[in-house]
Amino acid sequence: MKLMARSDGRSPDQLRPVTITRNWLAHAEGSVLVEFGGTKVLCAATVESGVPRWRKGSGLGWVTAEYAMLPRATNTRGDRESVRGKIGGRTHEISRLIGRSLRACVDYKALGENSIILDCDVLQADGGTRTAAITGAYVALADAVGWMRKKRMCPGDPLVDSVAAVSVGIVGTTPLLDLCYVEDVKAETDMNVVMTGRGAFVEVQGTAEGAPFDRNILDELLDLAAAGCAELTELQKTVLA
Amino acid sequence: MKLMARSDGRSPDQLRPVTITRNWLAHAEGSVLVEFGGTKVLCAATVESGVPRWRKGSGLGWVTAEYAMLPRATNTRGDRESVRGKIGGRTHEISRLIGRSLRACVDYKALGENSIILDCDVLQADGGTRTAAITGAYVALADAVGWMRKKRMCPGDPLVDSVAAVSVGIVGTTPLLDLCYVEDVKAETDMNVVMTGRGAFVEVQGTAEGAPFDRNILDELLDLAAAGCAELTELQKTVLA
Amino acid sequence: MKLMARSDGRSPDQLRPVTITRNWLAHAEGSVLVEFGGTKVLCAATVESGVPRWRKGSGLGWVTAEYAMLPRATNTRGDRESVRGKIGGRTHEISRLIGRSLRACVDYKALGENSIILDCDVLQADGGTRTAAITGAYVALADAVGWMRKKRMCPGDPLVDSVAAVSVGIVGTTPLLDLCYVEDVKAETDMNVVMTGRGAFVEVQGTAEGAPFDRNILDELLDLAAAGCAELTELQKTVLA
Amino acid sequence: MKLMARSDGRSPDQLRPVTITRNWLAHAEGSVLVEFGGTKVLCAATVESGVPRWRKGSGLGWVTAEYAMLPRATNTRGDRESVRGKIGGRTHEISRLIGRSLRACVDYKALGENSIILDCDVLQADGGTRTAAITGAYVALADAVGWMRKKRMCPGDPLVDSVAAVSVGIVGTTPLLDLCYVEDVKAETDMNVVMTGRGAFVEVQGTAEGAPFDRNILDELLDLAAAGCAELTELQKTVLA
Amino acid sequence: MKLMARSDGRSPDQLRPVTITRNWLAHAEGSVLVEFGGTKVLCAATVESGVPRWRKGSGLGWVTAEYAMLPRATNTRGDRESVRGKIGGRTHEISRLIGRSLRACVDYKALGENSIILDCDVLQADGGTRTAAITGAYVALADAVGWMRKKRMCPGDPLVDSVAAVSVGIVGTTPLLDLCYVEDVKAETDMNVVMTGRGAFVEVQGTAEGAPFDRNILDELLDLAAAGCAELTELQKTVLA
Amino acid sequence: MKLMARSDGRSPDQLRPVTITRNWLAHAEGSVLVEFGGTKVLCAATVESGVPRWRKGSGLGWVTAEYAMLPRATNTRGDRESVRGKIGGRTHEISRLIGRSLRACVDYKALGENSIILDCDVLQADGGTRTAAITGAYVALADAVGWMRKKRMCPGDPLVDSVAAVSVGIVGTTPLLDLCYVEDVKAETDMNVVMTGRGAFVEVQGTAEGAPFDRNILDELLDLAAAGCAELTELQKTVLA
């Protein structure tokens, strides 16, 4: 493993400064502004009684997510998906990923026939928007669940674990944790890893952007991600304490 | 005129606390977080060289705006327009209003064949989102123009005046300045007024939500709005100084 | 105030020839072909028992409107909104304005849980299509209400007043009533005013297309509009007698 | 063949009163209000220089059509296709039929690289809207061609023939010409026939709505349609004279 | 009638080799791969209990169809309609034709309140896709009905006849049966004919692509089509035996 | 690791019978019907000269893919995405995955400014449609490249490796290779792995559908997938020989 100087001076296994600000919004049942360096995502949790039609009468709850980017979150302005009249493939894919990830720590039965919707809107993007969104959305979800429990809306405690996520990648030949945008663009391999607070995997999505990668590299990236997720889990605990 | 206690203790002719934070975003050529009390709008100005097709070769620039609300800006969650696949009438109407309002202070010739797009995204809504958006977007526009002039992108100074906006309305029988959401809901008449820094009218949009209104009331509302806009103009000057 | 010869020889405070032909369609519960000079709008009122979902069980009725233009109503052909697959901002805005305006003269309780939809389709456009539409739609609405009352569909008389509308504007420096297309294009300021038969304001929408306007001009325009609306109200009465 | 009394007293082989009013619109290069009894269709012909992309540089012109119905053309109100965001199958089918029919009488080479668009908007529907549209659109097309020839826009005479259309059908066991709505609903077999002025077939579209039909019935219907189209051709000649 | 050598050596009144393979799919209640020469259409029949809303409570069943082409069924790739976000006019028209044709042999009462949907997807196109689809879909429909009857889902036998379809056309001056793509492109007149097993007409759709056609030609084409449909009916019987 | 009997009698590390039929379509430059047990995917490769706009003038080629399912590929009929008017998230996600996977074995420079589009249409689904699609699409791609090279369309050999894919998962506690539908539904963890012919990873997408999984399970699944991909690579070689 060759060392490479990172643009912001971090060591390869170092997260960017991460801040999670709770109750950023006045109306939402849970809301968080999460920042991974220059990446800022506003996560709002909405509680609705009732579940989608296909789940009615099951006694089980539901958790889902919608991800989007403000047009000027990025360096050059992107067209609004509302103006184009349809949601792009990337947006769909990330929304589905966030929803799946959060559902991994939810006990549907304890939630009762209620829904929680996590809106993750990227206000500013500098790499890792989906992992920041998952990490922040978990905190918003926890706050929304707290709100529900205070109102005695759910039969039990719907949170069976916590969830955090981080990106890892190979730039040059160096495995790096938590890629910022300029690193992401140069990465040969890019991997997003979602883990529970207890250290189990929820999602592993690795993609060879450049050269295909071998098993050793995959192992190194998984180690790096596991350490990063553990650190984020600690931060979530501190923030929610 | 009967006096009525306002929910937040303001006098009838008093604005809510207004804050305008410049450079809220890292990438945009101008960006502002504007707050009128609990209403928070993120205004991002994007400079693009070139103009829409119908204006090419004219030597003239263009300024336009897009307004949107995050799904959980409001008390109950609204569906995303990108998910519904089309933009609603209200969104269209306000986007057009903001664009028209800002164009009132722009000299297209001095701008040259460049475009400035103002994205106004409501992060939190508590009444007056369109007037906050116009007032904030002007500051983002001024910053974008400053950025262009530093880069010598435009042949002259495209800003010939400033623009600010405020809502006024009749609640009960009392004319009120800068309605918050609970006042807006109860208003018999609702008026949005856009004015230049020099005190001329750009837009006057008055609507009888309840009983139709007579000329006296219209006059009172216009007086109230003119004073409010003058105050906002001062604030814009201070912030941009 | 400088005098200016109008293209059709009218004095500044003169309406174009206005004709309102009732029962233009065989099927609609009320229907009117309204002509303001070369502007021809077909207004059809449809009565439906029942109200939109959000109003069910309230005991209150609803009135709404949809505005559209035939592709060759104008000088150059416009694409159909059905072909483009979405409704443009201008169409949305005018549909909403017409609906709001007509609702100002309706007693929802007396209407009972019934809906009236006003379809205003511009067959030929020569300026002032929205004001002609409102003025004609009121007559179609009155006929539809007459039809309902004959059928004893509504608990009371839902029409508490009448509604008419006219445009005014500044061309050069002259305030003009009821602008035709060539005047509208040259107008510095353009204002649409909707008033009740009793002379109160329902909507005031003034826009500085060119230079912003001061309070004196606003006052002159309102005077002109009030006189024009009064004249249209008389015509509506005559036609409905 | 059993005789059946028609609701409007016509004999089985009798057309409804047909009127064709030229120059109904001020802006279009050709325009016609065509009435087949209670069916009223506004046909507007628009001339555009240039042709669709796939035909550029061919030296050949193009003729196309768009058909639509106003929402209250019919007995109960139909939703606007612009509001639903897509064009229905029936609308598509009829638009294509009208375009194909009119192209049968056009010499593309003589038209030069110009396009003529026929907008056929049904203002009131009482059966036979597509056949009325074709019959009227031909006259609007002829007027648009006249306009072009006066302007010397086309290299030759693009009209090599005329085109008219009529519906026929079996009600009970009686073949009837030019079905009105109540007859159309009851028809076992419904056929639309488009013919040239010289008496050749352009389109034959027969559909068994009820029982399938045999060759004898098909022959009877074709005889009836041929006579009807000949009559309409005469009327077109008279109107254009 | 001049003789013309066909590209594949057939005589003018000869069908292409037709094969109908039943049970091509594992899941559908009826499924057929139908081949008319190089044209391959996969027809899947889906049985659903219940009928569309407008037919509920009538005691009557419903049969409908959807036609589509895979993007590379043709010589050059076509865009997917799902990607374009709307269904084209041709697709709509053919789907409606297939549905209408099949309904001609169905007794809705005997079907009970059940629906059968025929999906006809063109895997490879070489002319006559709609007629192959109808001919194959009938067999899939018959299998689906067999499946229902085994399950005692329908009160009677819903199939009162069979349905087959074939194209005919004039190439040069020769009437030809069952046009392949290269013939279809050259055809002056193109006709699709749908007939019942008993020899009655369900649909006759003739179009003059080039010169309009006279009654003699129409008669010749109908004779040719009737013979072709009779042959296809025999094949359907054999296959279903 | 506990052993579990598979529904089709396979051992845990056994692929379903895989068949790859080349040249299934007459028109496409490469086409394959790939079957993984009951899963049948038709893969068509289309060669187009030129590249998307954003890549023009780069000298580099492009490879992309579109995935879709016929409505009755599955046990219960799904609505067509063309009818719904938009592409679902799952479809988008899989299309993107297939495109990315195939690009991993392509040398854009050797391809020249040409595009290859892989259409993967699922005719019948029984689990593993995306992995079957990738495996089959590679063969169609190889055939299309062969076609191009024969025509001397590309400057070099664009295929630098091959690509195959397989699914693996945990059912109960047993890691299984190449899950069929009934296994997929029961899987706790589901992973799709795309590998090059040389044995490097292109994509690793693991998802905990039930309980989150630990590193040991991840390792076992990767071993299983690597063996499966190697077997598929051999089959591709045999088929292409």
Q: In the structure, what pLDDT confidence band is assigned to residue D1 with cuts at 50, 70 and 90?
A: very low
CA-CA distance, F183 to F175, in Å (whole number)? 11
- Does E31 have pLDDT greater than 60? yes
Ranges of residues in chain A whose predicted pLDDT is under 50: 1-2
For B85, the closest chain C residue by CA position comes to C86
- Say whether C202 and B207 touch across the interface (CB within 8 A): yes
Tokens of A42: 């506003």
E117-131: burial string, b at 16+ Cβ within 10 Å, e else = bbbbbbbbbbbbbbb
- Does C54 have pLDDT greater than 80? yes
- Please report, in angstroms and rounded to a whole number, the separation of the first and last CA atoms in chain E: 38
Burial class (CB in 10 A: 0-12, 13-18, 19+), B202: buried
Which one-letter DSSP state was computed for residue F200? -
pLDDT averaged over every residue in chain F: 95
Residues F60 and F156: beta-carbon distance below 8 Å: no
D97-132 pLDDT per residue, tens: 999 999 999 999 999 999 999 999 999 999 999 999
C 198-237: CB under 8 A from B: 198-208, 211-215, 218, 222, 226
One-letter amino acid for residue C149 of the chain: R
**∠E232-E233-E234 over CA atoms, to 5°?**
90
pLDDT averaged over every residue in chain D: 95
Annotated binding site of D for phosphate: 90, 128-130
Is C155 within 8 Å of chain D by CB? no
Residues C157 and C141: beta-carbon distance below 8 Å: no
Residues F99 and F65: beta-carbon distance below 8 Å: yes
Can you list the alpha helix ranges (DSSP code H) found in chain D? 81-84, 89-103, 108-111, 129-150, 181-186, 215-240
- Does D3 have pLDDT greater than 80? no
Tokens of F73: 């590929």
Rounded to 5 degrees, what are φ and ψ at F99?
-60, -50
| Alpha-carbon distance values, D153 to A157, D142, D148, E211 (Å) | 78, 14, 5, 25
Tokens of D133: 């549209």
Among the listed residues F168, F194, F193, F30, the one whose alpha carbon sits nearest the alpha carbon of residue F101: F194
- Does E2 have pLDDT greater than 60? no
Interacting residues of B72 by C-beta distance below 8 A, sequence separation 6+: A25, A27, A28, A31, A44, A46, A119
CB pairs under 8 A between A and F: 93
Chains that touch E (3 or more CB pairs under 8 A): D, F
Distance of CA C200 to the CA centre of its chain: 16
Interacting residues of B56 by C-beta distance below 8 A, sequence separation 6+: B50, B113
Residues A74 and B26: beta-carbon distance below 8 Å: no
pLDDT confidence of residue B90: 92
Per residue of chain B (241 residues), what is the pLDDT tens digit? 445 579 889 999 999 999 999 999 999 999 999 999 999 999 999 999 999 999 999 999 999 999 999 999 999 999 999 988 888 889 999 999 999 999 999 999 999 999 999 999 999 999 999 999 999 999 999 999 999 999 999 999 999 999 999 999 999 989 999 999 999 999 999 999 999 999 999 999 999 988 899 999 999 999 999 999 999 999 999 999 9
Which phi-psi region, left, alpha or beta, contains residue D51 (left: φ > 0; alpha: ψ -120 to 50)? beta
Q: Which domains does chain E have, with CATH numbers?
A: 18-240 (3.30.230.70)
Tally DSSP H helices, then E strands, for chain F: 6, 9
Strand partners, D116: D47, D63
Inter-residue long-range contacts of D189-192, CB under 8 Å, 24+ positions, other chains counted: D189/D213, D189/D217, D189/D221, D191/D167, D191/D221, D191/D222, D191/D225, D191/E204, D192/D97, D192/D130, D192/D131, D192/D165, D192/D166, D192/D167
Which phi-psi region, left, alpha or beta, contains residue A37 (left: φ > 0; alpha: ψ -120 to 50)? left
Q: In the structure, what pLDDT confidence band is assigned to residue C4 with cuts at 50, 70 and 90?
A: low
Pseudo-torsion of CA E3, E4, E8, E11, nearest 10°?
Answer: -10
One-letter amino acid for residue E120 of the chain: C
CA-CA distance, C82 to C70, in Å (whole number)? 11
Tokens of F52: 């998307």
Distance of CA D28 to the CA centre of its chain: 18
Do strands B114-124 and B62-69 pair parallel, antiparallel, or not at all (unpaired)?
A: parallel
Percent of chain B at pLDDT exceeding 70? 98
CA-CA distance, B121 to B138, in Å (whole number)? 14
Instruction: Tell me the average pLDDT across D204-232.
Output: 95
How do the residues of chain E divide into helix, strand and coil, expressed in percent and rounded to 5?
A: 35, 30, 35
A208-237 pLDDT per residue, tens: 988 899 999 999 999 999 999 999 999 999
Q: What is the ipTM of this complex?
A: 0.94
User: Which residue in C27, C70, C77 is closest to D72 by CB distance?
Assistant: C27
CA-CA distance, A48 to A117, in Å (whole number)? 8
pLDDT confidence of residue F3: 52
Annotated binding site of F: 90, 128-130
Residues B46 and B29: beta-carbon distance below 8 Å: yes
Annotated binding site of B for phosphate: 90, 128-130
- Say whether F72 and E124 touch across the interface (CB within 8 A): no
| Alpha-carbon distance values, F102 to F65, F68, F96, F197 (Å) | 9, 17, 10, 12
Residues F122 and E121: beta-carbon distance below 8 Å: no
Other beta carbons less than 10 A from residue A88's beta carbon: 17
pLDDT confidence of residue F208: 93
Residues in chain C within 8 Å Cβ distance of D91: 82
D167-194 pLDDT per residue, tens: 999 999 899 999 999 999 999 999 999 9
Helix orientation angle between A129-150 and A89-103, rounded to the nearest 10 degrees: 50
Q: In the structure, what pLDDT confidence band is assigned to residue E3 with cuts at 50, 70 and 90?
A: low
DSSP F106-167: B-HHHH-SEEEEEEEEEEE-SS-HHHHHHHHHHHHHHHHHHHHHHTT-SSS--BSS-EEEEE
